[in-house]
Structures are given as structure tokens and as C-alpha cells.
Amino acid sequence: MSRHEGYHHRNLHSALLTAAEAELVEKGVEHFSLRGVARRAGVSHAAPAHHFGDVDGLLTALATLSFERFLKAMESAAEAAGPDAVSKLVGIGMGYIDYAEANPELFSLQFASERPECDHPALRQRAEASFALLQSSVQAVVGDTGDDPSAIDDACSLIWATTHGLAALFAMRRRGNVAAMSDEARHERFRRLLGQLAESLRPAAGPQKL
């Protein structure tokens, strides 16, 4: 009996995603193929197409899975950071950066590739949930904005741009002058930068408040 025949439908779906991740990590999105995924999973060449339609469909499913992991990484980091709103926001930022550093190919697939179908309902839902976590955490720091509803959007844009910029340096392996730093020193620097930025959003920060 072939491995394909031995898979249950749900197990084959999961096995194909596992194989797809390995294919992406090794070959990148440019050389990603259904045949390569099928070969890794030990199934027929038709199996990935049967489950995901085409290459972009499989990459969409893989990006969706990555967004699920991405959200969990941020939630776990926020929970470990403690009850203070600023600490939680910094935790989310560090979870964001750590995920990108540990999963550069998946992170680039999520944010830099045009191959995933951005309007796919499952992918859109996971992506929106990730941003909603950031938005609610910024809201907790900024508090009531009164007659300035754009304040939360501005603060989110600032936090997101800074966090994503730091994360992208590692996803693209362009580390610049931080390459020689130890992991501990680098993470401490990023945590300090995010902490200073998050603190500036507090209402008591006066002129620094957005």
C-alpha cells in the first residue's frame, strides 16, 4: 500500500502542508512546485492539486497556517509579558519579531509575496485577527481618545511600521549593524525601542502622545 493510500483525507491535507512548508523553506516561493510537495509527502502528483487546486491555492493555505502560528506567537508573548498594557504591547511586538526571525520564508510569504490569494476568506480572517490583536493592545495603552478617532489608527500605524521594519530585517536576512550582536543583546535593544515607543503613547506622555 502506498503512503497516499494509507492517508485519511484529513491526515493527507496536514501532510501536504507539512511538505509544502519544507519545500518553501528549501526552495523559496520562486521554485516552489506541486510536484516537489507531492514528492516530499510521498503521494501522487495529483494529490496536492486535488486538495488545493493549484500552486497558489497551496501557498494560500500555507500562508493561512502561518498567520495562525503568528497570532499564537504574539498572544503567548503578550501573556508572558505581564498585566501592564505597555508590557503586553511590547510583548506582542517581540512575538512578531521573533516569529519573523524563526520563520523567514513563511513571514515573507505572508507579507511580501503576491502568490497567496489575499481575498481568500480563511486567510483574510487570520490576517485581520492578527491586526485586531495589535489594535486592541494599542487601544489599551492609548485609552480614550475623545474627539480624535484617528489617534488609534495613527498609533497602530506607528507601532506596526516600527515592529514590521525590525522583523523584516531578519526575514530578509539584512541585519546590518545588528548582525554582530548576540541574540540577547539584539532582543534587549528591540525590546527597549518598542518599550520607549509604547510608553510615548500613554496619555500622560504629553507632547509625545499621538
Spans of all domains in the chain: 1-53, 55-208
What are the residues whose beta carbons fall under 8 Å from the beta carbon of 193, sequence distance 6 or more? 162, 166
Predicted local distance difference test score (pLDDT) of residue 149: 72
Burial class for 127, CB neighbours closer than 10 Å (0-12, 13-18, 19+): buried
Cβ(104)–Cβ(172) below 8 Å: yes
The CATH H-level superfamily of 55-208 is: Tetracycline Repressor, domain 2 (1.10.357.10)
Question: What top-level class would CATH report for the domain 1-53?
Answer: mainly alpha
Task: Look at 36-40, 57-61, 103-107, 199-203 and tell me which has the smallest mean pLDDT.
Answer: 199-203
Report the Cα 185 to chain-centroid distance in Å: 23
pLDDT 10s digits, 147-197: 677 889 999 999 999 999 999 887 666 555 555 677 788 889 999 999 999
Tell me the pTM. 0.87
Position 48: which residue type? P
